[in-house]
A and B are shown apart, each in its own frame.
Chain A
Amino acid sequence: MTSPSPHSEKSVLLSVRDLSKSFGGVKAVTGVSFDVREGELLGIIGPNGSGKTTLVNLITGFITPDSGEVVYRGRNITGLMPYRIARLGIARTFQMVRPFTALAAFKNLIVPLFSPRVKSLSGGRYGDRDAVAKDLLEEVGFERESSVTYKPAGSLPHGYLKRLELAKCLALRADLIILDELFSGLSIAELASIVPVIEKLVVEGKTVIMIEHRLRELFRIANRVVVLNFGTVIAEGIPSEVMQKDEVKQAYLGSED
């Protein structure tokens, strides 16, 4: 890699092929296909109920698709258990943040740090998990040695809970990080501190998929966006072009934030 190559030349990390899932009569996701290239920051947008979270659940194994497949690094991972997919290096956050309330904030990270993936990546040893956890919290914007690090996660303000979710992905040392509405409910100041963390991830070579409603903030950092509506892809491309398309304008009509 001597010269900076355009994204199209980088290898495909994750490939979603013709994925469908319905709940009873509700077709949550229908025939969705797209590729994510290594080192890319892909945005997935769409109105409420358009199937974004379902898509995340399908990729990470929390739901098995009715048809279609998910291929990661050339390997078909459809139907694998969520923990297996996580061990392959796909981490996710949950739209509904539910931390381990009774545990101190940094102790929440012990869970991913306890996984075999972390052990094998650090040469067969787990090391001092508490110290690693505190470092990770600092990375996502917990002030070093501040009391929030030690507070029970149940008592943390929303902004910190979101950062804690992100830190869990970092703890797993994932290669692909899927963030389900990480920005929702964050103040402008909190956004300003968390956006650089995500940009840094991409610089470090991680691949990121961001589900977002906060379009302005997303478009500033995303390389490419996929637009969902009623469970199907209605547009795909670079942010500024996608928003010019009529279908997208229509889908967002009235639900623009």
Chain B
Amino acid sequence: MTTKKRKERLDRGIKVRSDDIFALTSYREMLYVAVPSVLPVAVLLILPLILPTYWQKVLISTSVFAILAMSWDFLVSVGMVSLGQALFFGVGGYLAGVLDHHLHLPIWLTIPLATVLGGGLCTVCLVPVLRLRGIYFAMVTLVLPLMIERIIEATGFLGGTEGLTGLKPFPSIYAELYLIVAAMLLVLFAVRRMMSTDYGLVLRAIQENDRSVMSGGINIYYLKAQALFLGGCACSFCGAFMTHVYMFVGMPAFALDYSILPIASAVVGGMGTFAGSTLGAFILVPLSEALRGIGGLRTVIYALSLTVFIVALPEGVFHYIQRKYKQFERWVEVER
């Protein structure tokens, strides 16, 4: 009989909210529960103060992509696969541009207005195709932003290929940084909270079995439109925000990047938790920036690392970390 060692994994079993018990017994356990949310928040609030200018810019676009990724993740969890986050982003961006350029509204009005109007406008555009499922809905969302881009180019509408320039800037880069970081955290906590309510539960049920939800007397098209509006608002906010960061809005606002990168972020980070999509953006966007220096092979290396992530951790980085954090491992003796 030989004695071997085997790794054993156990669940820590500490939960704040469970179905019927609420139990945190020690200071250590409270720390254990609080650290995963408090630590990243603290880091995000300190980062703007210590980063060099270039990386401050990277933090801004990372946060923007994190919001786009959460919005994508949210729409997927309601059963709508969007390939066109650029639509929401671009509409928000142009709305802010128009409100500034033509109506001369101040920045604290253009952004909120563009957020809400953008969400509403995109919802109205997509309501007719809400009944399409899966790939059909996805195709429409993919095509719309590309179409708008070409229309702007061909008609010279909204500044045409020149775009709208000379728009109002933010008072300082810290205003930009803290606004976008705060917005990202707000979206993250709000959407996580919402998805754990009964309303969110019904939304998620639509994704799993829409027929069963309908036979429960629930108007899934109305709920999907609401979800589209919320997801659209989040992206339109980003578009409006970036318009004022660049002091410019043009056709690049509808670029494919804004559709694809959020999906990659959500997949790499792990879908369904929103923290995963955020984490994914915080891996991919800085990585893409870091690779900028190496020139031609950038895309290749980027694509390779994306593949490695997806193959190695198909569940997503966040799910992996979460699982590890909730377990502890120890070596136990196994009798043979």
Contacts and interface: CB of A to CB of B under 8 A. Distances in A.
B216 interface: yes
B205 A100 contact: yes
Contacts of B208: 98, 100-102
Given A104-B19, A107-B201, A110-B198, A82 B212 contact: no
A62 B220 contact: no
Contacts of B215: 60, 82-83, 86, 91-92, 94, 168
Contact of B198 (A101, A116, A129): A129
A117 interface: yes
B235 to A, nearest CB: 26
B209 A98 contact: yes
A81 interface: yes
Contacts of B201: 103, 107, 110-111
A83 B220 contact: yes
A26 B10 CA distance: 56
B212 A172 contact: no
A98 B209 CA distance: 7
A19 interface: no
Contacts of B324: none
A117 B202 CA distance: 15
A111 B219 contact: no
B220 to A, nearest CB: 7
Given A104-B19, A110-B202, A114-B198, A86 B217 contact: yes
A62 B211 contact: yes
A209 B202 CA distance: 27
Contacts of B179: none
Interface in B204-260: 204-205, 208-209, 211-220
Nearest to B210: A82
A87 B216 CA distance: 8
B19 A114 contact: no
Contact of A114 (B204, B212, B214, B216): B216
A172 B213 CA distance: 11
B216 A86 contact: yes
Given A103-B201, A104-B19, A150-B19, A114 B209 contact: no
A116 B217 CA distance: 7
A206 to B, nearest CB: 16
B211 A112 contact: no
A115 interface: yes
Nearest to A87: B217
B227 to A, nearest CB: 15
B19 A94 contact: no
Contacts of A172: 216-217
A86 B214 contact: yes
Interface in A44-87: 60, 62, 81-83, 86-87
A185 to B, nearest CB: 18
Interface in B166-208: 198-199, 201-202, 204-205, 208
Interface in A134-187: 150, 168, 171-172
A101 B216 CA distance: 16
Contacts of A81: 214, 219
Nearest to B216: A112
Contacts of B198: 110, 114, 129
Given A100-B205, A103-B201, A150-B19, A114 B218 contact: yes
A111 B202 contact: yes
Given A103-B205, A107-B201, A129-B198, A117 B212 contact: no
A94 B217 CA distance: 15
A208 to B, nearest CB: 16
Given A110-B198, A110-B201, A110-B202, A100 B214 contact: no
Contacts of A94: 211-212, 215
B165 to A, nearest CB: 48
Given A103-B201, A110-B202, A83 B209 contact: no
Contacts of A87: 217
A42 B327 CA distance: 54
A57 to B, nearest CB: 10
Contact of B216 (A62, A98, A104, A111): A111
| Residue from the set A82, A103, A104, A171 with the largest chain B CB neighbour count within 10 Å | A82
Given A100-B205, A110-B201, A115 B217 contact: yes
A97 to B, nearest CB: 9
Nearest to B209: A98
B240 to A, nearest CB: 33
B329 to A, nearest CB: 25
A91 B199 CA distance: 21
A44 B86 CA distance: 51
A117 B209 contact: no
A126 B219 CA distance: 17
Contacts of A100: 204-205, 208-209, 212
Given A129-B198, A168-B216, A172-B217, A82 B211 contact: yes
7 contacts: A81-B219, A82-B211, A103-B201, A114-B199, A114-B202, A114-B216, A114-B218
Given A111-B202, A111-B205, 4 more contacts: A81-B214, A86-B214, A114-B216, A172-B216
Interface of A: 60, 62, 81-83, 86-87, 91-92, 94, 98-104, 107, 110-112, 114-118, 129, 150, 168, 171-172
Those 6 A-B pairs whose CB atoms lie nearest each other, nearest first: A115-B217, A112-B216, A86-B217, A82-B214, A111-B216, A87-B217
